[in-house]
Structure 1
Amino acid sequence: MDVNLIHNLFFIIQFKLLYNIKASVSLYFIFYTVSSFSYKYL
């Protein structure tokens, strides 16, 4: 295996994991905001 290819794959996997973490955190934040608003106004 080429070392450069392994490094590129590792970088892509790391970037996807970071992107998934950011997406799940923002989805959780949106869900928390909506649930708190509905809890206040219902």
Structure 2
Amino acid sequence: DGLPFIQRWALPNFYFHVTTTYALLREAGVEVGKQDFLGGV
């Protein structure tokens, strides 16, 4: 079953990288908002 892998590694790893990327972009002066994450939704 792949659920434990997704819950314990894949999702935390994904959110770590999203948060880090957001922080680096904001530090560089890029204005990132909610629509940037939602895309065409």
Scaled by the length of structure 1, what TM-score is found?
Answer: 0.59
What runs of 5+ residues in structure 2 fail to find an aligned partner? 31-41
Aligned length in residues:
29
Runs of 4+ in 1 over 3 A off after TM superposition: none
Q: Which residue of 2 aligns with 1:34?
A: none
Residue identity opposite 1:26 in structure 2: L
RMSD: 1.7
* More helix, by proportion: 1
Q: Please identify the structure whose Cα radius of gyration is greater.
A: 1
Q: Which residue of 2 aligns with 1:39?
A: none
1:1-33: CA deviation from partner (whole Å, max 9, x where unpaired):
xx52220011001000000000000000007xx
Scaled by the length of structure 2, what TM-score is found?
Answer: 0.60
Point out which structure has higher relative CO (alpha carbons under 8 A, 6+ apart): 2
Sequence identity, in percent? 7
What is the SS of the residue equivalent to 1:25? helix
